[in-house]
Amino acid sequence: MIKIKSLMLVTIHLFAILAACFFYIEDGLAQPLKKNPHWNYNNSHYKSEKFSSLDSIKPTNLTDLKPAWIFKSGFVTETRNTVQSSPVFTGTSLVTVSLDGNLIAINPATGVEKWRIKLAKPVGRRGIVFKKLDRPTLFVPTRKGVFAINELTGTVDKSIGNNGVFGTELSLFPPVITKNNVIVAHNWTGIKSYDLETGEKKWDTSIKSGNITPRIWAGYSFDKNSGLLFIVTSNPGGLIGVKRKFVKDYSSSLVAVNSKNGDIVWSFQEVVHDLWDLEMVGSPIIADIKLNGKIRKAVFSFSKTGNVIALDRLTGKSIYPDSYKNVAVPKSDVPGENASPTQKLFTTPEPISSIIFNPEKDLQNIIGKRREYILFKMRNAKTGFFIPPSLNNDIVLFGLHGGAEWPGGALDKVNNQLIVPSNRDPWILRLFYTDNIFSYINSKLEKFNLTDSNSKAPASHKERLSQGEKCSSCHSPKARWNHEGELSNAEMSLGEYIYSKLPFFSGSDLYINKCASCHGIARQGFYENEFFGDGYAPSLVGITLTKRKKSIRSLKEFFYNHKYTTTKIELNQKSLNEIRDYFVALDKFLNRWDLLSAQGRWQLLLDQDDLPAVAPPWGELTAINLDSGKINWKKPIGERKFFDGKEIVKGDINFGGVLVTASGLVFATGTPDEMVRAFNSTSGEELWSHKLPAAGSAPPMTFFFSGCQYVVVNATGGRFVGYGVRSDATVAFKLADCGKEK
């Protein structure tokens, strides 16, 4: 009798496991996983699950998963842009985009191009959507509105909208189509609904508050049952918020909008008065989950902070009890800055990462010259929980590249968990003064296109950057000198040259001879961005008005702060005093006449080998249990070889995204090693990998066609330092023997 009972229990348990593989909870009811062969939206569908019920490709046959075809668009950008949109499958075509503004239809079985159409780039920056209306139609966001494209012919369908167009402004996301409406999330101007037939605007919802206009750049989802749209918004802009005017704003928030009339139903702000460039990212995931015996209509959103925000999608309230608490944070010492006195500390769901950089923990096992170099770069830095940026010191934290990044996460319906890729590379935030006279000169030159408004580098720095070289802290200051040992006019920017002719600002000879080649004629400094590295020569404007003046107080301090400058500086105390006196006089003048402005820059914190200045892993995949909110597993993703391949780091930065399938697989990409990988969704074990032409640049997608399941990756490379080649490739994989008669 006991044996029979035991056998019955085992049988019931096995049946429950099998049932979980074929059923999921939706609207409180157990529903079979439908074998949907299509992928009509960049995140699978409007719920943004990035989950496919297809299961032909399994853990047991991954060894037979091979490239089926590689499509090349014919355009590789010279900039740092990448294709960040997953293709869509219409049933007859795979449709993708290129960086030169083309929408392209591909034969799904062969990878051969069927048609292409040129639109106003960026085209489908974060995706496109396919709908079967009276005729099969692709809705494509562009710089000049959303275009309706006939899926069969690749031409603009002028029979709908305003001659086939909805709106005239930049949109990065595919629109939501509801009955006779096309709802578009515009990058700068909010959300607008247009009539499908006429293109006439029906409603217009701005998310501007006071002078704060957050962008809609990272995520957009739609719940058909409730009729609610869910958007995530950017930070309010910049590391200084002195000029922001608001009562309540929608920056760094998840916002629910009524799709029928555009009313904002609720909003949830994660970071209040953001001064760190931390914001919510990725399209929110809409799911019904069972908690404590009750079905909760949930929406999940992700953040650069590493938090996962789990809210009731009808009310905007947390679905987990006591999911966060408000914690007091330090005050800002920037004049006029009204930093929030508290920020939210989340505990449930368990955060996938933290913004706090802890030198003792995060530099563990980093020793010798590498540790010495990192600590030197952090010599003026503070670390902690939401410490405001300061003119007197730097701030080091995680989060500007994630936690989660723009691809967001995926819903694993089989295991009732979220799968979220994340980054863990540190950043250093710096505030500094700028000279308004020098800024005014450059602004006028920009009007006539006579200067590069995006670069603060001296001319020689810009030249090296254009050649793809690493330009760290004044590697070659001699590049700004002519053969007679004088600063050459040709090596100055035009703005510097004009500034140098102003009587009071011409500079002391000592400063020009000893310092200007790195710090600039106007003391403006140089800050290399994350696309190239972390080169840094600080702005010296207003330095005598801050605590940073100690760096020019004595020769000992001066030479310590120039410890890693590659060219030896000849200077005595008398000369240093003369330079300091010049700074004091100039700073007093600028301050007296209100000619100083505070600005901020964020930079990657790298070591001397351009590696993230923290112990690995630098990137991970995390599975979050939706029953408990706890982490099921966390695994490194990607690897990086350095020091001539003698050392390997497990876990690297990643900007590709993930796909989950019903067969228990997680496909992930976006690492600098240019691999696409498959993981076991239950354990996180890596099961398979394949080299791509370049790093995957968008989440993988999957579809079923002519007897085969395909997994497709756009592999156009990475944007940031640490990545290698860029490409124009779309790569499709399938099982070697699929579609063949047996």
pLDDT digits (tens, 9 = 90+) for 322-358: 999 999 999 999 999 999 999 999 999 999 999 999 9
**Rounded Cα distance, 536 and 443, in Å:** 23
Whole-number average pLDDT of the chain? 89
Q: What is the structure's pLDDT at 506?
A: 66
**Rounded Cα distance, 104 and 98, in Å:** 8
Q: Which amino acid is at 381?
A: A
- Secondary element (H or E) of residue 66: strand 65-72
Closest alpha carbon to 651 in 666, 661, 671, 636: 636
**Rounded Cα distance, 627 and 417, in Å:** 8
CA 85 to chain centre: 13
Among 210-214, 269-273, 340-344, 396-400, the range scoring the smallest mean pLDDT is: 210-214
- Dump pLDDT digits (tens) for 615-664: 999 999 999 999 999 999 999 999 998 767 678 899 999 999 999 999 99
SS3 69: strand
**Rounded Cα distance, 436 and 511, in Å:** 20
Tokens representing 622 are 């995390």
Using DSSP bridges, classify how beta strands 219-223 and 201-205 pair: parallel, antiparallel or unpaired.
unpaired
**Rounded Cα distance, 163 and 275, in Å:** 43
Over 50: is that where the pLDDT of 478 sits?
no
Over 50: is that where the pLDDT of 519 sits?
yes
- Dump pLDDT digits (tens) for 246-258: 778 999 999 999 9
**Rounded Cα distance, 699 and 86, in Å:** 6
Q: What is the structure's pLDDT at 571?
A: 92
Are 26 and 290 spatial neighbours (Cβ–Cβ below 8 Å)? no
Average of pLDDT values for 676-689? 98
Q: What is the structure's pLDDT at 568?
A: 81
- Dump pLDDT digits (tens) for 132-143: 988 999 999 999
Q: What is the structure's pLDDT at 344?
A: 98
Task: Please report how many Cα atoms fall inside a 13 Å half-sphere around the Cα of residue 10, on the Cβ side.
Answer: 6
Over 60: is that where the pLDDT of 466 sits?
no
Alpha helices in 49-148 (DSSP H): none
Integer Rg of the chain from CA: 27
- 482: Cβ contacts below 8 Å, ≥ 6 apart: 488, 490, 491
Q: What is the 3-state secondary structure (H, E, C) of 639-674?
A: EEEECCCCEEEECCCCCCEEEEECCCEEEEECCCCC
Over 50: is that where the pLDDT of 41 sits?
yes
Among 78-92, 443-457, 643-657, the range scoring the smallest mean pLDDT is: 443-457
- Dihedral of CA atoms 16, 20, 23, 29 in degrees, nearest 10, equals 70
**Rounded Cα distance, 224 and 364, in Å:** 49
Are 654 and 31 spatial neighbours (Cβ–Cβ below 8 Å)? no
**Rounded Cα distance, 197 and 642, in Å:** 57
The burial class, CB within 10 Å (0-12 / 13-18 / 19+), for 466 is: exposed
- Dump pLDDT digits (tens) for 538-581: 999 999 999 999 999 999 999 999 999 887 888 999 999 999 99
Closest alpha carbon to 254 in 298, 288, 193: 298
Cis peptide before 403 (omega within 30 of 0): yes
Q: What is the structure's pLDDT at 503?
A: 80
- Secondary element (H or E) of residue 16: helix 2-22
Q: What is the structure's pLDDT at 464?
A: 38
**Rounded Cα distance, 262 and 189, in Å:** 13
For residue 109, give Cα distances in angstroms to 93, 704, 711: 9, 10, 12
- 470: Cβ contacts below 8 Å, ≥ 6 apart: 532, 533, 535, 610, 721
**Rounded Cα distance, 333 and 546, in Å:** 11
Q: What is the structure's pLDDT at 486?
A: 45
Average of pLDDT values for 450-454? 53
Q: What is the structure's pLDDT at 457?
A: 42
Tokens representing 670 are 């976006």
**Rounded Cα distance, 433 and 282, in Å:** 34
**Rounded Cα distance, 219 and 254, in Å:** 9
**Rounded Cα distance, 301 and 43, in Å:** 14
**Rounded Cα distance, 670 and 408, in Å:** 13
Q: What is the structure's pLDDT at 2?
A: 42
Over 60: is that where the pLDDT of 316 sits?
yes
